[in-house]
Structure 1
Amino acid sequence: MRVTLFDGVEENPTDRHVEAGTAMAKQAGIDILVGLGGGSAMDCAKGINFILTNGGRMADYKGHGKATKPMLPSIGIPTTAGTGSESQSYALITDESSHLKMACGDRKAAFRISILDPELTLSLPRSVSAITGIDAIAHALESYVCLKRNPVSQMAASTAWRMLEPNFDLVLDDPKNVEARSAMLVGAHFAGMAIENSMLGICHSCANPLTAHYGIAHGIAIGLMLPHVLRFNGQTIGNLYDELAQETRMHNGQPGYEAIAQRIEAMLHHAELPMRLRDRGVSQSILPILAEEANQQWTARFNPRPVTETDLLQVYQAAW
């Protein structure tokens, strides 16, 4: 087979990356796409599929089901245990003009085949294993409680949580542990399945503006916000967090949301990831702007506890 390599993908791909990949794909006359890499590579592959087969620009496909023509068959091969993009029909592409992440979804964009090979994750730097792992854990926790939760999504999310929580530390301490790597990879895949069948919440809504303004890697931004989101939501849907805490035996007489929040903080500490926004140079004066932008994010509408801009500002302040 004649193979054309497009490697012009960066973290948090934008419509510019998709356009560049589409131009190369057109020139090569490709008839199948393989998304090999982390979530950014796989999302960009989906984005290229949209534009190559249906024309226009990425903003035309914001939402779901906007592609009217058939799309090329594609294969997803993740090299990180993070986004679970290989199990979803959505591509998250940033609009360069507004810095807002666009969720562009269509059943036709989903990979026909996903290949999960834990050996591909053995060479990940410790920091990348940690960052992507925290992202996968947030996917499981948010999809389990979001407003669109349902028996199928909760089954996938709880399975993901049970696989990810005990193996996160193992992978950091023993990076060549193939069994732990496999559990993280499959756990991330199940967390992606949970998102595909439900949605996320304000942890992702709050993380995206941090990436847009400060270039903070997505998984780091997720880790900075997650414990505070758990405590915010726990006031309303604490019983659901109780269920997850019981599954991993971490109640210890505390509310489930607090036990899980403390576990996440322990993971961040073990991974040597920042735990306060100010540790990453985030100015306190920008928090109201971040809250305004977080409130505009699509995922905020599916948070189990209704939020206003004022609520989001309080969550940012708790994280600062």
Structure 2
Amino acid sequence: MLPFDFQLRPRIVFGAGVIEQLGPLASQLGGKVVLVVSDPGVVKAGHFGTGLQSLEAAGLVVHSFHEFTENPTTDFIDAGVEVARRVKPDLIVGLGGGSSMDCAKGINFVYSCGGQIKDYWGVGKATADLLPMIAVPTTSGTGSEAQSFALISDAKTHVKMACGDRRAACAIALLDPALTLTQPYAVTALTGIDALSHALETHVTTRRNAISSTFSREAFRLISNNLSRVLDASDDLEARGCMQFGACLAGMAIETSMLGAAHATANPLTARYGVTHGQAVGLMLPHVVRFNGQHYPELYSELLAEIDPRESQHDAPEQIAQRVTEVVRKAGLKTTLRELGIAAEVLPELAADASQQWTGSFNPVPVNADNLLTLYQAAL
């Protein structure tokens, strides 16, 4: 058994309607002045208002920050920090999708420790304790509520910076599957595929261990068995709950095992061409599974056994790759780079960018610009 060092940090509160506990939970953490970070879509859906009502009913003073979009940038963090310095919160709530939670963490880094968010690019760069945080995900995708990392894009270079520190972990993750019922179909699909990629990648990385594999396998089972259900019936609350818990477990796996080449190849597609992350990673994932499966078929056999124990484990990587392609296609997403308008001549540039991605360093098969180019060519 591989060695590991793991500490379960967030308290997880799960159940339909538990957002009504947000105020009492914040009070338990000693909160008196709260900064709620929620994107405009969450405000429009009414979830911010529900959280606000619970916080105010508990006697807390609430301020908010909404001026950011998907893939929060350094500029958004700077704007959020200005709000925090003005209102002086003693607790931060990230209420929304991965962008809201990452933005909340990024604001917390700079507000609590000073400097700029790029100063915390890497691991363990915090210089002081951060404010306690509560994460309330409204999607089933990133698993950010269970991670001590914030992914922030440089506003000028568009490079994604992973800023991680144990002190940035949320104190409480409040999982209310009812909040995901308002997701548009496209958001359900994109975030669900992202969560599926997390379960798959975390199970095979060089940092995998007994703890991460436990989370990865259960996350893969939950997500694989329920993603099609929520695509077919958006009001299936039981399936929504399984997806949200599965995404959270996959996030817990990321915390200890990291990710791999699917994310390394997806990120340049987002940075250079604005391809949505779920689309990019869903397109590249089957090719990475086949690539890794040539050397580690037994790891994919373990995952396949979670969803179909009676299925022959022969050629498990190919079976999983085909299943991923099927769900990507069912979600109405593209399955080739050509469909996204990406030409063959730009692939070497994408491969060069992908070779510099941090996540690629954890792939079970070492990657470089040459074999990453092969992956892009397979996806063309």
Q: Verify same fold: TM over 0.5.
A: yes
Q: 1:296 aligns with which of 356, 371, 376?
A: 356
Deviations 1:165-213 (A, max 9, x none): 0100000111101000000000000000000011100100111110011
Unmatched 5+ residue regions in structure 1?
Answer: none
Superposed counterparts of 1:1-320, under 5 Å? 1-249=60-308, 251-252=311-312, 254-320=314-380
TM-aligned CA deviation for residue 104 of structure 1:
0.5
- Percent identity among equivalent residues? 52
For normalisation by structure 2, the TM-score amounts to: 0.83
Q: Give the SS at the match of 1:115.
A: strand
CA distance in 2, matches of 1:64, 1:304: 21
CA distance in 2, matches of 1:118, 1:237: 35
**Residues 69 and 99 in structure 2, CA contact (< 8 A), matched pair in contact too:** yes
Deviations 1:3-37 (A, max 9, x none): 11111121111111111111111111221100000
TM-aligned CA deviation for residue 44 of structure 1:
0.6
For normalisation by structure 1, the TM-score amounts to: 0.98
CA distance in 1, matches of 2:124, 2:90: 22
The amino acid that maps onto 2:85 is K
Unmatched 5+ residue regions in structure 2?
Answer: 1-59
Q: Give the SS at the match of 1:171.
A: helix
**Residues 283 and 325 in structure 2, CA contact (< 8 A), matched pair in contact too:** no
Paired positions, count: 320
Q: 2:54 maps to which residue?
A: none
Q: Give the SS at the match of 2:93.
A: strand
CA RMSD of aligned residues (A): 1.0
Q: Give the SS at the match of 1:183.
A: helix
Deviations 1:50-78 (A, max 9, x none): 00010111111111111111111110000
Deviations 1:209-245 (A, max 9, x none): 1001111111111111011110111111111001111
The amino acid that maps onto 2:155 is E
TM-aligned CA deviation for residue 283 of structure 1:
2.1
CA distance in 2, matches of 1:280, 1:28: 44
Larger radius of gyration between Structure 1 and Structure 2:
2
The amino acid that maps onto 2:184 is P
Deviations 1:125-171 (A, max 9, x none): 11110100000010010000000000000000001001000100000
**Residues 252 and 259 in structure 1, CA contact (< 8 A), matched pair in contact too:** no
**Residues 305 and 313 in structure 2, CA contact (< 8 A), matched pair in contact too:** no
The amino acid that maps onto 1:109 is A
Q: Give the SS at the match of 1:145.
A: coil
